[in-house]
Structure 1
Amino acid sequence: MDHDHTANAHHAARPTCWTVVVPGPFFGGFTYHLEAGQTPPCPGARVRVPFGKSERVAVVIEAAEPDGQETRPIAAVLDPEPLLDDRTLACLRWAAAYYHHPLGEVVFAALPKALRGERELQVEALSLTESGRQALEDGAARGERQREALATLKDADDAVPATALAAAAVRRRLIEHGWAQIVSMTAPADWPSSSENDKTTAPALKNEQAVAVEAVAAGLARFGAWLLQGVTGSGKTEVYLALIEQVLESGRQVLVVVPEISLTPQLIQRFARRLDVVPAVLHSGLADGERLAAWRAVAAGKAQLVIGTRSAAFVPLPKAGLIVVDEEHDAALKQQEGFLYHARDVLVWRARQLDVPILLGSATPSLETLRHAWDGRYHHLHLTERATGAPMPNIHCLDIRAQPMEGGLSPALMRAIERHLLAGGQVMLYLNRRGYASSLVCHACGWVAGCPHCDAFLTWHRQAGRLRCHHCGFEQGVPADCPSCQAPLSVRGMGTEQLEDVLAARFPGFGIVRLDRDATAGKGVMAESLARVARGEARLVVGTQMLVKGHDFPGVSLVGVVNADQALFASDFRGPERFAQSLLQVAGRAGRAERPGEVLVQTHDPEHPVLRRLLSEDYEAVMAAELAEREQAELPPTRFAALVRADAPNGAAARAFLTRVADDLRERQGDELAVWGPVSAPLARRAGRYRFQLLLLARVRSVLHQALWQVDESVGSRRPGQGLRWSVDVDPIDLA
């Protein structure tokens, strides 16, 4: 008995241990102990720990039982309170496991950049002493400012930041008299309670909008996944606003995630004016200080409405009431480098965890989401009519075979542009290729300007006077003539720059705006370009995929798709789905106001089955046919997929690595797992590295994940040597 008592006492005296994670390719956590006198950290707080020969900032995940192994001490506890609450930590742990990514990198990616280092959130503050309380009661404090400061301290639950209390001289007097003492506190996460804009009145909801609002509102107290499928211009945002208003009135928080930064300014202004709130905005374009302030206000429950891009999927939501994902089909919601998560899917998991509804909105839902709706896993809501009552535009094909083309535009499209411009309308032309020309070529010897680091051609950006690789970022000047034979060079293919030049020469005086990544790179340029279109100063709009991102162009009466074949004949099996989404999204920009809309699609294959279906049937019918083809080919969403990628300076090393992985999986997993490859990636060499990939398919999700854990365990490091790197992409949306 005495022996047991001694053992227990000895055990209790051992230092408390904690599991922490650091950013890096480490799948597990690391155990550290606290030394005597240190305040124990909270899970979700940052600490500084010795790591190798230096020190690193880490995040505490959980308390750990001492296991007899020697541990190193935590050097410092940086946060007295957790930055990430328990539910957010649980979500991050799930995401790291599901996407097979190192937990430390996942956790640090969820923090604003300003908190990934040692930035302190502690500020100097003052708290009231007992003698200060007495001085206030018996009148010993005679100065008006001193009495005001003491009253503020008395009313405060804890301490008050020094700079928010009174002038420095007044604070010094309070301390000298012993009426207040200096303490340290976490800087408060303040946020404005209301906007200074005049609140706008909500329009009367159309019947379908009202039905959708009523359906979701009936389930606001519990989890439910809702797909709001509405044609472009049907007023999905009004449905969002009506529901958000109800949630905000109940004192809870709403998270709205959009695919692109360019969409946030419009939403922020519209939401602020309608709801009389200041939305907290979270996206990568913010300065570190702005993002930190917004993130902390949300995490503290002070900011009720959050609008952000995919990284906002992991912000703590202590008062969660509703999650909205706008344009849920958009590929920008999937991270394509590093931690390869899909914000939409993470948020569905979070909504279930938080027991709140999630509303997924789109005119052209992804096949995965549609299948969930058809199977009854998601509630399916429809908005079939435009909010303005305007009819959907007619879509017509232009067969450009054997047609004389002028800068990529057929005579029929040129005539249509002229007709709409003269009638007072605006014209939008969609070409998903930026730059002036796809490449520079020499007709004399066949030389083509290629990237020295990638298996890709360099795009000519004429305005910048540069040749650029859109894959690795390499760029160089434009040669005056062919480097091989000194003959004159000519262009091949066209981009938005060239299209802008052609239209400006052919239709001078109408004003033109180009919307692509190059033209809108500067701060405020995008907003000004959209304002020029809204004011009617620019009657011609040329752009890439940026055009289909939910912008409202009420004056546009004609939309021209310059090169449909580029998407129709994509090598990825998702090509038909993406083409249908892009075409219907860009077509929906036409005819939203009083002018009837017209959409013209240039193609060399007007009989293509996907194109014919889009012209004769609705989107769901097209997707049903696409799903049937996927089922026949046993491709997602019929089967769950993961892509194992490997790249190395030596192509043989990358291929050999994936061959070993494939052979091992085939031997151990059997028929339950299909292993396709390894094959060269569509872009076989990028940034000087040779790329190969292995596609894994399984009808049961757990079989797929078991196979991936097997690979992790057998290989160990994601950097196994010879310059080799490998990664896992679960639920890939891009096989390139």
Structure 2
Amino acid sequence: MDRTASHNLDTTLTSQSTNHLSPVLGRVRIVRVALDTPLPTLFDYRTEQSVTPGQLVQVPFRRRQIVGIAWELAQKSKVKPDRLRAISTVLVEMPALSEEWRNLIAFAANYYHRGIGEVALQALPGHLRTPTRWARLFSLSSIQCYRLVEGAAVSLRDNVPIRLRAQRRLAMELIESGVLDAQKARTLCSKASEVIKQWVAGGWVTIETVTLNSAESTFNVLNSSTNNDYAKHIAQIKVANIYKDASLTADVKSTSSSSDEKTLTVCQAHAVSTIAKAIDTRLENSPFTPFILHGVTGSGKTEVYLRTVAKVLQEHKAQVLILVPEINLTPQLECVFRARFPREVLVILHSALAEGDRAQNWLSAHRGKARIVLGTRLSVLASMPYLRLIIVDEEHDPSYKQQEGLRYSARDLAIWRGSHLKVPVILGSATPSLDSWKHAKKGRYICMTMPERGSPDAVLPTVSLIDLEIEKKRQRIVVQEGLSQQLLDAVRDRLKCGEQSLLYLNRRGYAPVLACDACGWVNDCSRCSAHLVLHKLERCLRCHHCGIESRIPNTCPNCGNLDLAPLGRGTQRIEEALSKHFPNARLARIDADSTRRKGSAQGLFEKVHAGHVDILIGTQMITKGHDFRNVTLVGVLNADAALFSHDFRAAERLFAQLMQVAGRAGRAARADSPGDVLIQTRYADHPLFNALIRHDYEGFANQQLEERRQASLPPYTHQALLRAESKKLAQAMDFLKIARTMAKISELADPLLSLWDPVPMSMVRISGIERAQLVIESPSRTALQSFLSVWIVKLRSLRSPVRWHIEVDPLEI
């Protein structure tokens, strides 16, 4: 929140204050509009048009025209009538945002102490915030589609060489779907238009144009009574990027065809029936209670989701919201839901979508046409007027907490939204967050445990530790590579059996440090308090915080020494080492570097599922949600660093990561392949590893909760963080000291509050900006919120060059 935002506001814009109000005469109406500013206020405008609360409007703000939301109507305004500015345009083509949605936004703005308009406008797709896009969004348009000629599938497949991967991918998609829109075709093959012309000449494909209302997207076509089969093809392809994989699709189709006949386990059946009762009793005055679906990896949580969603869609004709923590988890889950519910409209919402697609998908959810919405954390703020079920998959994942702008927790907002609507909220995880686990122990959440894998033949993997100290003494470890002989032997055995191995290292790049042995020079970033990471393949040094790059020096910049050595290991270095040990193995590396291009992550996961990869190396991107059917070995490298972190949540996160990545092993229903997990460590006696070997999440969680209770740490206390940023650290520290002194005055002092001393952040400098923080905590959430409401007003009055913001319930301290 920028201090300067509270000054020099346009005099014609007013807050919600009603002191000295002037009457509004005649037919002129007063509309209070939410605008994208950090101030917790609404702005008054006049209009002679008919305006409904929740409608989008275009208004003059200072010297420009911007989009706002008509939040409420008023009889009077603080501003004199002759100085009150008029609303320019009212977007009548879009249904007004519901009161339920506005209540959600108001709660988020109040709880996280942001401007109500700032939250509301940022929750909308970019095209809706741009008036010049309105005409295109809500006007008639057409899409070009490519249709496979009947009986041409075999000829088309045989005439596209396997070596032409993009064209082959385009052909297989067209063969499977029957019809493909031009936009999707371009994502599969950059030269799709030229290739399609050749296929048209060959008599395999025809080009057709479908006219539709772009605001309705392809859902008008889906609901049309004419051309129904063609509409189904178009809708299922246009709505989102479908994750296609030969082996996965076969599994999904089988599941779809036999979904009604598939027998649930006892635990699955209990979970489905319990949630079904909550859905049926929604309108009765029953207390709201979220559900924790605590199932081990592979226990069939997705099947519980599917059965519950089916009940909502079939019996209640409503909408369902499904949240996932990361974008790369959406394709596989999308494919499963599309196969189970082929006649339902499903849309995807996440930040990687093109702005036009995101706007159309959002509008479909807002109009109630999309009955299943699958997306990342921003989806929790989507307008869904018929919402009757919320599912938060991998609810423990810290990715649900936004780290910039409005620093909200999507999981927490999902729970509040479910409580407000009295609809079930399912929190699914093999390792629930300690916050949720505490609520379950107190009886506030209903915990449904599924301790065994869903298939009768599949069992949990065997977890073993490789003691690196012992391996080193036996000279069975390659020091530079960090790979023990025991792990290499296990990988070799899997290669002989035709099975896949997965190696997990949560550090990308080649090496985290490049150093000089002679003088001790290391490659520090000039803009951040961090080292430049060596990326050998790109032949550069790169900062993973600010993105600055530089060439790899030939000699030490400090002493001229020629012998510069990489210290530590990243995924690139492990990939290089494995290629030397197993030159004939097919390797794939999945991390933020290898998946920069759009669709690259999807392509790599497709190769793994199709069995075209023998050894997979990756970061946390591969730890959760993925169903690798042929992976029977998981190796974990360098997990010890998190054991001694200053962050009290480090152990919780490490346990969750290791449990999740261990769950990728042995997921196929084969009793003879239970799966093995090998963890390299120098601390084999650590309690965390002992609990992991036993798959004992409950014991680990209870022990962690007891430690936090004794130390008065969350979830037994509530925290907020005041962060200050400046080009000089002294300025940031001085601002925090003044803020702390201000908080101790009589009107703000509260015995339930504790304010820590201001300190520099662990990562002090990022992109040349120095950062410091001050922690406020209290055992009472109410006391903390009341204090923040008053304190922030006083902080805004301070004149300082420092930028600052408040974060409620921080995860990073």
TM-score, with structure 2 as normaliser: 0.79
Pick one of 317, 321, 336 that aligns with 2:403: 336
- Give yes or no for contact 2:217–2:364 (8 Å, CA) kept in 1: yes
Which among 511, 514, 531 is matched to residue 440 of structure 1? 514
**Please, which runs of 5 or more residues in structure 2 have no aligned partner?**
1-20, 141-212, 224-230, 237-252, 283-287
Letter in 2 for 1:517: A
* 1:187-266 correspondence runs (5 A): 187-188=215-216, 191=219, 192=222, 196=233, 199-202=256-259, 203-221=262-280, 222=282, 223-250=288-315, 251-266=317-332
The residue aligned with 1:424 is 498
CA deviation profile, 1:54-74 (whole Å, cap 9, x unmatched): 332222211134244235322
Asked if structure 2 preserves the Cα contact closer than 8 Å seen for 1:228 and 1:382, the reply is yes
Q: Is the 8 A contact 1:195 1:278 kept in 2?
A: no
SS at match of 2:588: strand
For 1:344-423, list aligned pairs within 5 A.
344-389=411-456, 390-401=458-469, 403=472, 404-406=477-479, 407-423=481-497
RMSD: 2.1
- State which of 355, 366, 376 in structure 2 corresponds to 1:288: 355
The farther-off stretch of 338-347 and 68-77 is 68-77
Counterpart check, 1:19 vs 2:32: yes
SS in 2 for 1:626: helix
Residue 607 (1) aligns with residue 669 (2): no
Amino acid at match of 1:656: D
Displacement after TM superposition at 1:28 (Å): 1.4
Provide the residue aligned with 1:629 in structure 2: 707
Q: Report the CA distance shift for 1:531/1:12 in structure 2 as closer, same or farther (over 3 A).
A: same
1:516 is aligned to 591
Partner of 2:796: 716
**Aligned AA for 2:258?**
T
Deviation at 1:703, TM superposition (A): 0.8
Q: Hey, what does 2:112 align to over in structure 1?
A: 99
Given candidates 69, 72, 77, the residue that maps to 2:84 is 72
Residue type of the alignment partner of 1:410: S
User: How much has 1:187 moved relative to structure 2?
Assistant: 4.6
Task: Output the TM-score relative to the length of structure 1.
Answer: 0.87
Tell me, in whole angstroms, the C-alpha distance in 2 between the residues paired with 1:497 and 1:103.
45
Moved more, 306-315 or 468-477: 468-477
- For the Cα contact (< 8 Å) 1:39–1:77, is it kept in 2? no
Q: Give me the whole-angstrom Cα distance separating, in 1, the residues matched to 2:801 and 2:769.
A: 9
1:539 counterpart residue number: 614
CA displacement 1:326-352 (0-9 Å, x = unmatched): 110111111111110011110111111
Q: Partner of 1:591 in structure 2?
A: 666
Aligned to 1:157: none
Amino acid of the structure 1 residue aligned with 2:296? V
2:581 matches 1:581:
no
Letter in 2 for 1:103: I
Q: Identical aligned pairs, as a percentage?
A: 40
Q: Is contact 1:201-1:274 (8 Å) kept?
A: no
Counterpart residue type for residue 600 of structure 2: V
Instruction: Give the C-alpha shift of residue 201 in structure 1.
Output: 2.3
Which position in structure 2 is the counterpart of 1:152?
none
Instruction: Quote how far apart the aligned CAs of 1:564 are.
Output: 1.1
Contact 2:320 2:388 in 1 (8 A): yes
The structure having more radius of gyration, on CA atoms, is: 1
- State yes or no: 1:568 paired with 2:666: no
- Equivalent residues of 2:95, 2:367 under 8 A apart: no
Alpha-carbon contact 1:666-1:673 (below 8 Å) kept: no
- Specify the SS of the correspondent of 1:677: coil
**Whole-Å separation in 2 of the counterparts to 1:360 and 1:380:** 9
Partner of 2:763: 683
Q: Distance in 1 between matches of 2:740 and 2:35?
A: 31
SS at match of 1:398: strand
Give the number of aligned pairs. 664
Aligned-partner SS, 2:466? strand
- CA gap 1:578/1:9 in 2 versus in 1, 3 angstroms: closer
**Is 1:450 matched with 2:524?**
yes
| Deviates further, 620-629 or 66-75 | 66-75
| CA distance in structure 1 between the partners assigned to 2:703 and 2:772 by the alignment | 31
Give the aligned partner of residue 58 of structure 1.
68
Q: Gapped runs of 5+ residues in structure 1? A: 1-7, 126-184
- The CA deviation string for residues 306-332 of structure 1, in whole angstroms up to 9 with x for no partner, is 111111101111111211111101111
Q: Does 1:324 align with 2:391?
A: yes
Shift of 1:641: 1.1
Inter-partner Cα distance in structure 2 for 1:442 and 1:305? 56
Counterparts of 2:95 and 2:345, CA distance in 1: 25
Q: 1:450 to 1:572 in 2, by over 3 A?
A: same
Q: Given that residues 260 and 549 in structure 1 are in contact (C-alpha distance below 8 angstroms), is that contact kept between their aligned partners in structure 2? A: no
Q: Deviations over 1:403-434 (max 9, x none)?
A: 14341112222222222322332111110000
Offset at residue 372 of structure 1 (A): 1.0
